[in-house]
Amino acid sequence: MAGKTYSGNYFEDFTIGRQIVHATPRTVTQGDIALYLALYGSRFAATSASTFARDLGYPQLPIDSLLAFHLVFGKTVPDISLNAVANLGYAGGRFGVPVYPGDTLTTTSTVIGLKPNSSGRNGNVYVRSVGVNQDGQMVLDYVRWVMVNRREAVSEVGESVIPPLPGAVAVEDLVVPYEPGAPYDERMQALAGSTHLWDDYEVGERIDHVDGMTIEESDHMLATRLYQNTAKVHFNQFAQNDTKIGRRLIYGGHIISLARALSFNGLANAQAVAAINAGSHANPTFAGDTIYAWSEVLDRMEVPGRADVGALRLRTVATKDLPCAGFPYRDEAGKYLPGVVLDLDYTVLMPRRAGA
């Protein structure tokens, strides 16, 4: 007996090449689609209507790829970041096959790097996590690194193995999750909510997404439980009372989904997210914060073999209680402004103008 509860892995438990099959597999349902809508109010047509999705080239209505991200990510928390001091970053996030209701997602992580900190009390752990569906097809593949406590402090910290970190996902590596479909004509554009297609965006262009959304405690906790993400700081106010912050912290992925939903106003035809190149949660968010967002076009790329769709690499910045008409970002020293909460570098797919 004894020792039935699970206290997560400590720095000592990670070794290069160790593979962790994460609990709990999760079947996605139409209920997830409805809840995701209720939580963020997303209006991208490809993930709202099966008719539109089929016209676009999907066999059926897919779930939002960020919902897939949260489900895949959530599974890694008990094993990777339960004893984390800090989430340091993620990179090279590439989406694979789309996820449909009925699919079951499982995540496996492999330790690819270890950097013991000189304090001897913790170290950075680099993992590559791969989410697959019930047929073993890749749904999401990404690298993440976190600072994890040691179970016991040491005086000799050992050597570092720092993996090469992927940069932005190359356009050749992007998976377009649908086949070429019906012409993206006036009717499709009206239903999608915008006439601005891939051809109409320019590198360097900035877009204020205008709208704001206030977060309540119930909202972010419903979301984070839906993803079976167990990080305590999101749920336990009694324990948070004893911390310096004193409040429940909102899961960073909740902000990503809110920012993406807000980005509809200006990017309505960005029907799919194909990659998350890098991301930083610049400041914490709490219930009561109102989230705004703006985006900058970092790159505009043709997709090999596809004349119907192009890729836009975007930076989307989310803020709290700070409207984005002035595109708030960093101060002169390069530090994020206090109102900036998310700096996301990602790649979306958008239909191209036919014959352009």
Report the site for its own copies in 199-258 (rule: CB under 8 A). Answer: 200-202, 205, 207-214, 216-219, 221-226, 228, 230, 232, 235-239, 248
Type of residue at 322: L
Residue with Cβ nearer its own copies (104 or 160): 104
What part of residues 27-46 is at the interface with its own copies (CB under 8 A)?
Answer: 27, 29-35, 37-41, 43-45
| Residue 110 contacts its own copies per CB under 8 A | no
Type of residue at 356: A
Residue with Cβ nearer its own copies (106 or 124): 106
Pairing of strands 213-214, 290-303: antiparallel
Q: Is 123 helix (H, G, I), strand (E, B) or coil?
A: strand
Minimal distance, residue 89 CB to its own copies, in Å: 26
Minimal distance, residue 310 CB to its own copies, in Å: 15
What part of residues 113-172 is at the interface with its own copies (CB under 8 A)?
Answer: 134
- The residue from 16, 59, 86, 102 that contacts its own copies (CB under 8 A) is 102
Residue with Cβ nearer its own copies (165 or 213): 213
Residue with Cβ nearer its own copies (40 or 178): 40
Helix ranges, 193-296 (H): 217-226, 237-240, 252-262, 264-267
Residue with Cβ nearer its own copies (150 or 320): 320
| Cα 78 to Cα 134: distance, rounded to the nearest angstrom | 22
Closest CA to 198 of 274, 294, 300: 300
Minimal distance, residue 161 CB to its own copies, in Å: 25
356 CB neighbour count, 10 Å cutoff:
10
- The residue from 84, 168, 267, 311 that contacts its own copies (CB under 8 A) is 267
Type of residue at 23: A
Type of residue at 250: I
The answer to whether residues 124 and 115 touch, using CB atoms and an 8 Å cutoff, is yes
